[in-house]
Chain A
Amino acid sequence: MSLRIPCRLLLAFAALLATFAAARAATPDEALAALLTEARQHCDQPTDRLERILCGKPLRIGVRDYYPLFGTRENGTHVGYEPDIARAIARRLGVEIEFVRVNAATRIPMLGEDRIDLVLATMGHTTQRDGQLRFIRPHYYQSETVVVGPRALRIGDWNDVATRTICVTVGNVSNAQMVSHNARLMLFDEAGVLPDRLKDETCTLAAQDDSFFAYYFTDPSFASRFEQKFGFAQVPWGMGVARTGSDKLARALDLLSQIFHRDGTFLEIAVRNRIRTVFLEDQQRIWQRPECNTTEGSTNRNCILPALNLELAPTPFAAWVTAAEDWSERRLGIDITLPMLKTAPAFSLFLNGVVNTLILIAGALAATFAFAIVFGFSLGSDFRPVRWLAWLVTMTLQSSPIVLTLVIAAAFAHALLPYSTGVALGASILALGLTNGGNAGQAVSEAVISLHHEGGEKGMALFVHALGRSAISIVAFLINAAKGTPAASFIGAPELLGALTDVSSFSSGRATTYCLVLVFYTIVVMIVVWACGWLRTWLEGRQVSA
């Protein structure tokens, strides 16, 4: 009893000295040493994870086990950039390590449930995640989304991808940026299929995290065919610890990260694992600067990177939409998600999509009717060169699938004018009008010929009569033109299908979205069918009056 009090006093004095030393430390190394010394004093009653680890418990680190180059498992051993960093940390702290397998969905919950002490698993640092865990600064890596394509294809920047199709994965946050540069997106559920789709030429371009493609570029045959065109949407990667009970562990890791950057430890591990080192080289320069190489460097805004802010501005009625979704699920048992009404960019795309669709349908109907008259007149003309030319054009249009006709119209339009919504809509209207108007014109000309054989009328009267006789065909091709308008999304016309495909690429609720698109288009086409009924009656009336 007499000895215990002096012992406790001695320990308290040592802790006080360590705290004092940490406060006085001038370099991250001194601060780390002091922090570890202080933490080791609390082995009898550890309150922080750092104390627990230093007092004999293993450091439980959540790592990926199938993320090539960054974290994989080979013959039971964790290999890659992140497991190597984990080992370097454990070595520096002088503790045992225990790897725990995590994936993108489990890494944060496992931290909250105290099943792991540290996440080191390809995790991007976003402002949304800041509320869920404590990120270690400085970041240990930075990825970006890269556009990958064949070497023969000249793509330099955003100007070259407008109207091109880029294969992406659903939910990738960088999709919104691609959409804003008028790229068309082809959506896939899994990133793993993208390299294969590039190889089998289903995709000309694919966009994904550079850390994902890094592995594939180690394959000489892949690297000989494809290259990174450009990168965007940089995301810093951070280690993470629990928000509570990890203050000292977080501080130790902050200091360790500073030291690892400054001394090139991260860089050396990256080189060993064959991953890109541009970011790490930059970081080494930053953390060697005197203003950053201090005990407070990890909070100095001039040294650290900000978290990526991915939050999209909500619409003024987003809360009502969410309430309506909840009500539907609770009361009706129907799970609906309306992402197009909840964020400002999505709502803007949605509104523009509706307006553009209506413009496109009206334009396609008008163009079809106009071309029907032009082709009908030309094909029924007595002047042979005009008739043959019209026949040649009609045959060509009939032989070209509508998607190909749209692509050709877009190729001409973009050769003459830079991409814009108006150009894309104009090219689509022209293509739909030519294809359907050509077919309808053929029906008109057949009516003209039949009326010729019957004798009697001539000139304009005969033509008007022919329009009436071919009313059924004209109406059929008008309806066909309206039904064909969603195909315009293929050449980048921002109609509703294209707009909502863009929205669903960076938000949830694909099922509801595509149900809505189907219902919208079916209703619009039915209205066109109804309106065309009136037109048919009017045209047939002209036939009688003529």
Chain B
Amino acid sequence: MKLAGIWADYVPSLLAGMATNFEISIIALLLGLLVGIPFAALRFYGGRASVALAAIVVSLMRAAPTFVVMFFLLNVVRDVSLFGMKLTMSGVMTVAVSLVPYSAAYTADAGVDALRQWDRGSPLGALLFLPNITRAFFVIVMASGAAAAIGVPEGISVILRESALLPTLGDRLVVFAVGIVLFGVPLQIGLALMRWLQRELGRRLVGA
């Protein structure tokens, strides 16, 4: 396999595909925040029954495998009604929504912790919610590769498409390696950013 071919065609396609992964992840995270924060509030401020109910729902969301939820949405709840309008979920939206149970459960857990910190008079402790959500975002980016299974043209689809045309394992490994590097760089930068945020907040917490 010629490296020139990789740089000329494959890498730009992969970067374009990865943009879809980030698009999916941003939607999933925003929807997760929208669903998860009320559950966090319910678990923290609610009465015994509402706390129990919220805990059950969050446990179910935590247990639902993204891959299965994605196929469930694709085959069972493809068309949704919103204010009387029938909307058909696109592939990107289907994957994003399938990641919402994870994202919402994570937000609810991190949110409860943040509220506890806030209640204990530690706003900086509560701010640890931000690096936690950053971590969730990168987990979602990696999980969004599941979209390849339903034909959404994202990063993993590009890697698979390119590798399918190559005859030898060696050539395929080059394609896979480029994929890992391109997915890995933003992930590692993001995780480093998260660790820096945590360190900064921790330092200020100690200082406070």
Contact = CB atoms under 8 A, between A and B. Distances in A.
B176 A408 contact: yes
Given A407-B160, A510-B76, A398 B71 contact: no
B167 to A, nearest CB: 7
A402 interface: yes
B72 to A, nearest CB: 5
Nearest to A186: B151
Given A399-B183, A412-B169, A487 B63 contact: no
Given A483-B63, A486-B68, A526-B59, A399 B187 contact: yes
A510 B64 contact: no
B75 A511 contact: yes
B103 interface: no
Interface in B37-95: 59-60, 62-69, 71-72, 75-76
Contacts of A525: 63-65
Contacts of A411: 163, 169, 172-173, 176
B160 A514 contact: no
Interface residues of A, number: 50
Contact of B68 (A200, A201, A403, A517): A517
A501 B142 CA distance: 24
A404 B165 contact: no
Given A202-B157, A411-B169, A400 B184 contact: yes
**Chain B, interface size: which category?**
35 or more
A517 B184 contact: no
A37 to B, nearest CB: 58
Contacts of A436: none
Contact of B64 (A197, A202, A518): A518
A150 interface: yes
A200 B63 contact: no
Interface residues of A: mostly helix, strand, loop or mixed? helix
Contacts of A154: 167
Interface in B154-204: 155-157, 159-161, 163-165, 167, 169, 172-173, 176, 179-181, 183-185, 187-188
Contacts of B75: 187, 504, 510-511, 513-514
A490 B69 contact: no
20 contacts: A154-B167, A197-B151, A202-B151, A401-B143, A402-B145, A403-B148, A404-B156, A407-B159, A415-B169, A485-B65, A487-B67, A487-B149, A510-B76, A513-B75, A514-B72, A514-B75, A518-B64, A522-B60, A522-B65, A526-B63
Interface of A: 150, 152-154, 164, 167, 186-187, 197, 200-204, 395-396, 398-404, 407-408, 411-412, 415, 483-487, 489-490, 497, 501, 504, 510-511, 513-515, 517-518, 521-522, 525-526, 529
> Which 10 A-B residue pairs are closest in the complex by CB-CB distance?
A399-B184, A401-B145, A486-B67, A403-B145, A525-B63, A202-B151, A401-B142, A483-B65, A415-B169, A514-B75
